[in-house]
């Protein structure tokens, strides 16, 4: 019997539990060398190419392109012959497998905590709650009878409304019969995981009755969208958000950006007002360090460095890569970093490490023509700044109404860390730089 080496799907990021096989770069019978790219996978955060830890002949491709599989699962077998069929789903009894994760990329397969699969309930296990039974059977619990008002706290009601969930569809486990945060999150997780096909789950009756309607498009929730939804729901529940807004005369920022574009030092570098806002946020956070922090429950971790997150809309969904140690960069260096971040994100090449360890985030909703908004704080942070569109508006200067370039900044803060006076001081400092960029020279 030939010896086959089985390559397990590795954890290419911190805490990765699953990934989708996007495209195989090899086929059965191909001869591969060590570090040759085998496959392209999509994690919850990025597209990643996996190199081969073995040299040999591809014997089996064990997960088909388009399928999602758990970390630690064998995905390819490499041996000395190409006699095995593709997509057999696992090693045969006669093989002598060596299971191996990608070297240096994450925990070994035995150390990975697997999520339970549907249908693995097992005999002799008692599932005492509707939620547990639903997880075992793969079906959602029956909705409560209509006619009675569903009990739920205001934050739960708001989250349900934002998610498009009818609270009467959620099984309540609260002591007084109320729908809890845990109930809603559990319901949302199962709704996300359930296949969107005939006989599957639909969020309301009208959607369910539209089965087969060619005007209805069903998009499976996975990858970036699934991770973003989970993170935003958890953030909205766990961090008490408070938001404030400030109108800013950004006319001098517009003049400054124009001069930078004409400068030979910035030749070939894309420059926009976002550059000045990024510099303003870094400057203001240095003056108000507690907005650059993490809440753990037991302590507040204040970061005296700035990994500045920039929310980026990409073909794969919203991502928030961050510029490491942005406080160390000159204005030109920051401009180059923003250019690189945007190009990498648009190309879908942002790596998991680029989205870890963020300090504070900027979301540029003005690029879409939006004046302002109430952004949700990125998990692990305590502040986010929304940058609205800049447009000419009437503005009072020295008692006269004149046209000025005006924008609105919106900030959301975790009230467990950032009190009202601190959030106001921080936003005022950001606004001050947008109104007079020359302050950065002080």
Q: Which class is domain 5-111?
A: mainly beta
The dihedral sign for the CA sequence 130, 136, 139, 140: positive
Cα–Cα–Cα angle for 380, 431, 288, nearest 5°?
45
Burial 122-139, CB ≥16 within 10 A → b, else e: eeeeeeeebbeebbbeee
Which range of 25-39, 125-139, 236-250, 275-289 scores highest in mean pLDDT? It is: 275-289
Specify whether the CB–CB gap between 276 and 433 falls below 8 A.
yes
Q: How far apart are CA 78 and CA 54, in angstroms?
A: 7
Mean pLDDT, residues 93-114: 40
Mean pLDDT, residues 377-392: 93
What is the maximal distance between C-alpha atoms in the chain?
Answer: 91
- % residues pLDDT > 90 (the chain): 39
When mean pLDDT is compared across 63-77, 130-144, 297-311, the lowest value belongs to 130-144
Interval 63-86: pLDDT, tens: 988 888 888 889 999 986 544 444
- Helical pair 251-262 and 420-435, crossing angle rounded to 10 deg: 50
Mean pLDDT, residues 418-442: 92
Q: How far apart are CA 315 and CA 398, in angstroms?
A: 46
Say how many Å lie between the first and final Cα of the chain, rounded: 74
Q: How far apart are CA 366 and CA 416, in angstroms?
A: 28
Is the model's pLDDT at 391 over the cut of 80?
A: yes
Q: Which class is domain 240-441?
A: alpha beta
Domain ranges of the chain: 5-111, 130-221, 240-441
Interval 193-240: pLDDT, tens: 554 443 333 334 344 444 566 776 777 767 666 766 666 667 666 667
> What is the structure's pLDDT at 145?
42
Q: How far apart are CA 192 and CA 186, in angstroms?
A: 10
CA distances from 165 to 135, 145, 185 (A): 19, 16, 11
Active site residues: 415
Is the model's pLDDT at 129 over the cut of 70?
A: no
At the fourth CATH level, the homologous superfamily of domain 130-221 is: E3-binding domain (4.10.320.10)
Is the model's pLDDT at 97 over the cut of 50?
A: no
Quick one: how far is CA 247 from the chain centroid? 29
Residue, of 349 and 52, whose pLDDT is higher: 52
> What is the structure's pLDDT at 149?
72
Which range of 14-23, 123-132, 190-199 scores highest in mean pLDDT? It is: 14-23
């Amino acid at each position: 019997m030939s010896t086959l080496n089985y390559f397990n799907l590795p954890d290419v990021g911190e805490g990765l539990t699953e990934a989708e096989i996007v495209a195989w770069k090899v086929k059965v019978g191909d001869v591969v060398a060590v570090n040759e790219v085998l496959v392209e996978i999509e994690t919850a955060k990025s597209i990643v190419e996996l190199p081969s830890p073995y040299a040999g002949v591809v014997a089996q491709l064990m997960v088909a392109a388009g399928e999602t599989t758990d970390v630690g699962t064998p995905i390819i077998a490499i041996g000395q012959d190409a006699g095995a069929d593709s997509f057999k789903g696992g090693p045969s009894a006669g093989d002598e497998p060596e299971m191996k994760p990608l070297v240096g990329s994450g925990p070994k397969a035995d150390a990975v905590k697997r999520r339970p699969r549907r249908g693995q309930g097992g005999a002799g296990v008692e599932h005492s709650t509707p939620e547990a039974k639903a997880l075992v059977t793969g079906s959602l619990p029956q909705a409560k009878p209509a006619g009675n008002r569903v009990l739920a706290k205001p934050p739960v009601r708001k989250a349900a409304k934002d998610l498009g969930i009818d609270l009467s569809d959620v099984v309540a486990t609260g002591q007084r019969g109320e729908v809890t945060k845990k109930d809603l999150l559990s319901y949302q997780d199962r709704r996300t995981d359930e296949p969107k096909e005939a006989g599957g789950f639909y969020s309301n009756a009208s959607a369910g009755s539209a089965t087969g309607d060619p005007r209805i498009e069903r998009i499976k929730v996975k990858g970036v969208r699934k991770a973003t939804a989970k993170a935003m729901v958890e953030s909205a529940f766990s961090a008490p958000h408070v938001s404030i807004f400030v109108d800013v005369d950004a006319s001098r920022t517009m003049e400054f950006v124009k001069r930078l574009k004409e400068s030979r030092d910035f030749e070939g570098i894309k420059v926009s007002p976002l550059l000045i806002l990024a510099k303003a946020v870094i400057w203001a956070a240095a003056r108000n360090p507690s907005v650059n922090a993490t809440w753990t429950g037991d302590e507040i971790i204040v970061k005296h460095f700035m990994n500045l997150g920039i929310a980026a809309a990409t073909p794969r969904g919203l991502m928030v890569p961050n510029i490491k140690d942005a406080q160390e960069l000159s204005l030109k260096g920051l401009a180059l970093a923003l250019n690189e971040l945007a190009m990498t994100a648009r190309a879908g090449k942002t790596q998991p490490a680029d989205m870890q360890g963020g300090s504070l985030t900027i979301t540029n909703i003005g690029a879409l023509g939006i004046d302002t908004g109430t952004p949700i704080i990125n998990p692990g942070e305590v502040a986010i700044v929304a940058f609205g569109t800049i447009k000419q508006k009437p503005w009072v200067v020295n008692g006269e109404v004149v046209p000025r370039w005006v924008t609105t900044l919106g900030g959301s803060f975790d009230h467990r860390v950032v009190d009202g006076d601190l959030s106001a001081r921080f936003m005022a400092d950001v606004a001050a730089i947008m109104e007079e960029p020359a302050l950065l020279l002080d």
